[in-house]
């Protein structure tokens, strides 16, 4: 495993673990590395110090240092709250979003609040068909295992 310090085009800095340097390169080339704060995919590695194991315990973190899990600004706090509400009050349909939206619009399935993933061409086609959709300002939380 390898840990990289990354930053996005908006200047957010964050860390992420990858199976290997090659795994990072492949995921990055496929646009699958996203900012942990804003979800942007224009991400690059930043200067970082290697982690070296020693016999002495690590120094404690600075008490005022922000934690990655805590939104740093009021805008990030509002975005985190919006994400929490959307995920709590809608069904995640994943990559089936376009089909689920069409089925609800056609009356084939009951209407309900959904969120998921759609390619840009799929989203444009939904709008052209008169199906109301809106992009979310964050990456969806994915369930694993």
pLDDT in tens, 6-61: 999 988 988 888 898 899 999 999 988 998 888 889 999 987 766 666 776 666 65
User: Please, what is the average pLDDT of the chain?
Assistant: 85
pTM exceeds 0.85 for this model: no
What's the sign of the alpha-carbon dihedral 40, 44, 49, 52? positive
Residue 56's pLDDT is what? 67
Contact 90, 114 (CB under 8 A): yes
Which range scores top for mean pLDDT: 28-32, 37-41, 76-80, 98-102? 98-102
Nearest-5° Cα angle at 31, 119 to 21: 155
10 Å CB burial of residue 43 (0-12, 13-18, 19+) is: buried
pLDDT of 145 over the 50 cut: no
Domain boundaries, given as residue ranges, for the chain: 2-45, 74-128
Give the bridge partners for 17, in sequence order: 3
């Amino acid at each position: 495993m390898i840990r990289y310090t990354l930053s996005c085009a908006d200047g957010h800095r964050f860390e992420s673990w990858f199976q290997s340097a090659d795994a990072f390169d492949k995921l990055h080339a496929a646009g699958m590395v996203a900012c942990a704060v804003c979800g942007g995919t224009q991400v690059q590695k930043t200067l970082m110090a290697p982690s070296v194991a020693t016999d002495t315990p690590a120094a404690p973190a600075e008490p005022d240092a922000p934690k990655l899990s805590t939104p740093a600004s009021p805008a990030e706090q509002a975005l985190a709250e919006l994400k929490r509400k959307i995920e709590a009050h809608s069904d995640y349909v994943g990559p089936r979003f376009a089909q689920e939206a069409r089925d609800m619009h056609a009356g084939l399935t009951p209407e309900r609040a959904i969120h998921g993933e759609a390619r840009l061409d799929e989203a444009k086609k939904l709008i052209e068909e008169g199906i109301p959709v809106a992009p979310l300002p964050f990456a969806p939380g994915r369930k694993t295992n």
